[in-house]
């Protein structure tokens, strides 16, 4: 399994994505450092980084749905 990083500001959408990751049994680390998010080019949160590939909220949800199949 590739390393997964959750970029979060603690907003309600961040909480939803965090819960979905946990329900799917995905191990992840949390980054709540806004400066780091900006360095990575993130314009909004939440997002996840999967082995160097950044997925915005909707893409992350689709990725999780694909894991269920």
Q: How confident is the model at residue 2 (pLDDT cuts 50, 70, 90)?
A: confident
Global pTM reads 0.91
| Domain presence at residue 1 | no
| Domain presence at residue 2 | no
Range of the domain at 24: 9-48+55-68
How far from the centroid of its chain's Cα atoms is residue 36's Cα?
14
Count of beta carbons in the 10 Å neighbourhood of residue 48:
25
How many folded domains does the chain comprise?
1
Give pLDDT tens digits for 12-62: 999 999 999 999 999 999 999 999 999 999 999 999 999 999 999 999 999
| Domain presence at residue 3 | no
Q: In what order do the strands lie in the sheet with 47-50?
A: 29-31, 4-7, 47-50, 53-56
Q: How far apart are CA 68 and CA 3, in angstroms?
A: 18
């Amino acid at each position: 399994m590739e390393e997964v990083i959750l970029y979060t500001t603690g907003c309600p959408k961040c909480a939803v994505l965090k819960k979905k990751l946990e329900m799917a049994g995905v191990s992840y680390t949390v980054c709540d450092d806004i400066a780091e998010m900006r360095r990575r080019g993130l314009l909004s949160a939440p997002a996840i980084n999967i082995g160097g590939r950044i997925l915005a909220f909707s893409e992350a949800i689709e990725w999780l749905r694909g894991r269920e199949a």
